[in-house]
A and B are shown apart, each in its own frame.
Chain A
Amino acid sequence: MANHADTHDDHYHPPGLQHQFDDMKQQMDSVTIGMWAFLVQEIMFFGGLFTVYLVFRSRYPMAFAAGSNHLDPFWGGLNTLVLIVSSLTMALTVYYAQKGNRNMQVILIVLTMLFGTVFLGVKAVEYNDKYNHGLIPVNGWNKKIKEGEHTTEKSSLTLPFETKVSAASEEGKTEVHANPKGNFQIEDKDLELVQNAVNGNYLTQSEKIGYFNANNEIDKGMFTGKVQIFFWIYFVMTGLHALHMIIGLGVMLWLLWMAWRGTFTAQYFAPVEIAGLYWHFVDIVWIFLFPLLYLLGRHFLH
C-alpha cells in the first residue's frame, strides 16, 4: 500500500522496482502470488495426464505392471535423487541470494543446472533403451533388428536381493528380440502377469474383456495394445516433464547471468525466489511420476 498519494516519481526508486509498483513489498507479494497462480495452472496441466493415468491404470493394472516392469527403477530412482539434490541446491541459492552472497549464488545455480542436465542425460539413456527394446509405442519408431540378429546385453545394476530386474531378463541380461519393422513389442514373459492374475482372480472387469480373445485365451496382441497405452502415457508424461526441465534450465541460465552481474541483493531477490518455486514444482511432478510409472507393479513378480 502506498503511504503517499503522489504518483509522481520524484523519490528514489530501489533498483529492480518496476514502475507499476509502489514499493518492493508490493512487487514481491505480486510476483510470488503470480508465480503460485502459474504453478496452479501447471498442476492442472499435468493433472490432465495424471487423470489419464488414473483411468487406465484402474482399468488395466496388469498391462501397467508389465509396462512398469520394463522400466528400470535404478535409473528412475537415481534421477529422483538427482532432482532432490538439485532442489536442495536451488533452495540454498535462494538462501544465499537473500543474504546477498553473489559467489555462493553463482556456484549453487551452476550446480543446480548441472544436476538438471544429469537428469536429462539419464532420461536420454532410458529413452534410448526403450528404442532398442521395441518399447516406443508407435510402430516403426523402434530399432529395426533383423531376424537372426539376436543379442543379449547386460542390463543395468542388479541389486543382490533382486531376483529379476524385469519380466524379460534372466540373470541380469536382457534378450533383444528380432524386430524387423521396428514395431512395438512385448515379451511373452509379460503375459505371466495376466496368467497369475487369472489364477489369483484379481483381474478387473475391463481386463477380463480386454485381454482375452473369442476362445477365452490370453491374447498377446490384445494385451500388447494395453501395454502400448502405458508406454504412450510414459513417454508423454516424462517427455512433457523433460520439456519443463529444459525450460527450467533456460530460466536458470538467465538467472545465472543476472546473479553473475550481481543483480541480486538482500533487498531484491524476487526472481531467484520465484525461479526456485518453478524448479521445486518440476521436482514435485517427478516425485509422483517415479513411483507411479516405475514402481507400481514390481511386487507382482516378486
Chain B
Amino acid sequence: MQNIDAINVSGIRAEPPVNYLTNGFTIKSWLLTKDHKRIAIMYLLSISVFFMLGGLYASAIRLELLTPASDLLQSGTYNKVFTQHGIIMIFLFLIPAIPAVLGNFLIPIMIGAKDLAFPRINLLSLYIYWAAGALIVFALLQGGVDTGWTFYTPYSTTFSNSYVMLVGLGIFVNGFSSILTGLNFIVTIHTMRAPGMTWFRMPLFVWAHYATSLVMILGTPVIAITVLMLALERAVGIGIFDPAIGGDPILFQHLFWFYSHPAVYIMILPGMGIISELISNFSRKKIFGYEFIAFSSIAIAVFGFLVWGHHMFVSGQSIYAGLVFSFLTMVVAVPSAIKVFNWAATLYQGSISYDTPMLYGLFFIGLFLIGGLTGLFLGAIGLTVHLTDTYFIVAHFHYVMVGGQVLAYLGGIHYWWSKMTGKMYPEFWGKIAAMLVFVGFNLTFFPQFILGYMGMPRRYASYPAEFQVLNIFSTAGASILGIGLMMPVFYLTYSFFFGKKAEANPWMLPGLEWRTASPPPTENFEKTPIVTWEAYEFGEENGLDLEEAKRRELVAPVV
C-alpha cells in the first residue's frame, strides 16, 4: 500500500486523468455539484463581483470627498452610498470571502478528507448567499438604505424612508449561509481528519477556520434575531426600541454589536490563518510557537464576545459598563499581539523568498500592526470620546479590514492559485499589483488618521475647507489602490486560460495540500493519506532541503 508520507514530487502524477475542473462541463454539473472545490470557485466569482460593486460605492465616496462641499452627491444620497458600501463590503465580501473561498477549497485537502462533512449543506450555503446577495442588490436598485450599515434605532425603525426591511431580510438570509458554513467546518475538522492527522499536526489555517466557525455559530444568530426585531418594529410601528412606550434604542445597539464585534474576528481570523501559512512557508521554516498561535486563535474567538460595548462608549451605556468593556478590549489585543510576535520570530533566520504571496504577508504584518494598535487607542475611553465618529475610526477599521484581511485574501489567492487552477499567476504583474496596493492603501487611509484626529466627522458629505488637502491625498491613494486591486482580476483570469502550467508543488512545500495534483482530482487524493509528519516540517529527510530549493531558484541566495 503506497503511503504518501515522504515528499516525492515525481511520485504524484502531474496530470491525473480527470481533475475537479474537468470532471463535467455542464452547467448542471456546477450548479448541482457537491464538490467543495467547485463550490469554492463559484464563491470566488460571486465574491469578486460583490467586491467590485462595493468598490464602485467606495469610488463614489472618494470622488465626493475631493471637495469640501456636498456637490457631487446630496447628503441624502451620500448617506445611501456609504451605507451600501458598508453593507456590501461587510456582509457580502468580508465575512464570507476567506472561509467560503479558501476555507471551502482547502480545509478538506489540508486534513486529508474527501470532502466536507456535509457537501449538500455546503451547496445550500452557496444558494443562500446568492439569494441574500440578490435581495440586497434588488433593494439597492429599488432605492437603497441610508441608515448606515449599523442600522441604529430609532432612525432605522421609525424615521428612515429607505428600504430597511428588504436589506434587513437580505442580511438575515445571509446569516444562515455563514452559520451553515461554520457548522460544516466544525464538524469536518472534528470527524473527517485523515489517519495520523492529529489536532496539532493540522495547518494553522485550519485552526484559524475552526476558531472562525465558533464565532459564526455563536454570534450570527444574534444579528439574525436583531434584524428580525428591527424589521418587525418597522413593519407594525411599535416595538421594544421605541422610547415612546418605554423601549430602549440602546438595547438595539447591544444586540447589534453582540454579533458585529465578533464579526470582525470572523473577518480577520481566517486572514491570520493565511498569514501563518505564508510566513512559515516562504521563510522555509517551521512556524515559531505553533501551539501559541493555535490557542491564540481560540482565545480571540472567545474574548471577542466580551468586548462589544467598545462600540458604544458614547451611546449612553453606563460608565461602569464602559470600564469593563475597555479593560477587556485591552485584553483581547494580547492574543493578536502574540501572533505578530510569533510571525516575526518565524521570519528571523528564515530563508525568505519575496514571491507575491509573501509580499502580501509581510505587508499584512505591518498594516495589521498599525490597525490593531490604533484599535487600542480607541479602546481607551478618554481618547475614544474625542475620536468617536471621526475619520480616525474609518482609518482604523480600514487598516485592519483592507490592510489586514483583503491583503491576506489576495496573498492566499495567489499562493494557492496554482493548486486551484493548475496554472501559475504571472509573478512580475503580481509583484507590481501588490506594491500598488500597498502604496495606494497607505496613501488612502493614513491621512484619514490625521483627519480624524483633527476632527473631521465620518459619514458627512461635506467638511470644513481646511481638511481638503488630506482628502485629496486620500482620493489619489484610492485611485492607485483601485488599480492595484483590479490588476489581479485581469492577470489571474488570463493565467487561468493561458498561464504557465503549474506542477503539484511548485515551491517545494511540506503541506498536505501540496501532495496532491494541481488541480486536485474530485476526491482530493488518489489514495487516503496517512499522516506521519508534523506541520511545517521542512528539512532534508523530507526532501525539502534548502540546497535543493536554492538550486531550483525558489529561494534568493543569501548575500
Chain A residues packing against B (C-beta within 8 Å): 1-2, 4-7, 19-21, 26, 29-30, 33-34, 37-38, 40-42, 44-49, 51-52, 55-56, 59-60, 63, 137-139, 141, 206, 210, 222, 225-226, 228-229, 232-233, 236
Residues on B with beta carbons closer than 8 Å to the beta carbon of A60: 246
Q: Do residues A228 and B183 form an inter-chain contact, with CB atoms below 8 A?
A: no
- Closest Cβ of chain B to A224, distance in Å, is 8
Pairwise interchain contact A49-B225, C-beta atoms closer than 8 A: yes
Total interface residues in chain B, CB < 8 Å: 51
A60: nearest residue on chain B (CB-CB)?
B246
- Sorted nearest first, the 7 A-B pairs with minimum C-beta distance are A225-B245, A48-B225, A45-B221, A44-B221, A20-B115, A226-B246, A30-B191
- Return A42 CB to nearest CB of chain B, in Å: 7
B131 within 8 A of A: no
Per a CB cutoff under 8 Å, which of A20, A139, A222 touches B114? A20
* Known contacts A33-B186, A233-B240; A5 and B527 CB within 8 A of each other: yes
Determine whether B523 belongs to the interface, using a CB cutoff of 8 Å to chain A. Answer: yes
Once the chains bind, are B245 and A29 in contact (CB under 8 Å)? no
Using A41-B221, A55-B248 as known contacts, say yes or no to A6 and B527 having CB atoms under 8 A apart: yes
Given A34-B183, A228-B238: A26 and B527 interface contact (C-beta under 8 Å): no
Q: A41-B179, A41-B221 are in contact. Are A138 and B251 (CB under 8 A)?
A: no
| B222 in contact with A48 (CB, 8 Å) | yes
Given contacts A38-B183, A41-B183, A52-B229, contact A26 B192 (CB under 8 A): yes
Whether A33 contacts B221 by the Cβ 8 Å rule is no
| Residues in A neighbouring B187, C-beta threshold 8 A | 30, 33-34, 37
* Chain A residues with CB under 8 A of B523: 7
State the main secondary structure of chain A at its contact with B.
helix
Which residue, of A34, A63, A138, A222, has the highest number of chain B Cβ atoms within 10 A?
Answer: A34
The contact of B251 among A46, A55, A137, by CB within 8 Å, is A55
| Distance, CA A232 to CA B235, complexed state (A) | 13
- Residues on B with C-beta less than 8 A from A40 are 217-218
The smallest C-beta distance from B529 to any residue of chain A, in angstroms, reads 8
- Write the nearest CB–CB distance from B260 to chain A, whole angstroms: 13
- In the complex, which residues of chain B have a beta carbon less than 8 angstroms from the beta carbon of A141? 236
- Selected from B218, B222, B226, B530, the residue in CB contact (under 8 A) with A5 is B530
Q: Do residues A229 and B245 form an inter-chain contact, with CB atoms below 8 A? A: yes
Q: How far is the CB of A41 from chain B (nearest CB, A)?
A: 5
A138: which of B116, B179, B238 is its contact (CB, 8 Å)? B238
Known A34-B118, A41-B217, A228-B238: A51·B255 in contact at CB below 8 Å: yes
Is B116 a contact of A20 with CB atoms below 8 Å? yes
Most buried by A among B182, B247, B258, B523: B247
A225 touches B186 (CB 8 A): no
Minimum Cβ distance to chain B for residue A18 (Å): 8
Assuming the contacts A45-B225, A236-B229, asked whether A33 and B191 have C-beta atoms less than 8 A apart, the reply is yes
Verify A48–B226 contact, CB threshold 8 A.
Answer: yes
Residues on B with C-beta less than 8 A from A51 are 254-255
Residues of chain B lying within 8 A (CB to CB) of residue A7: 114, 523, 525-528
The closest CB in chain B to the CB of A55 belongs to B251
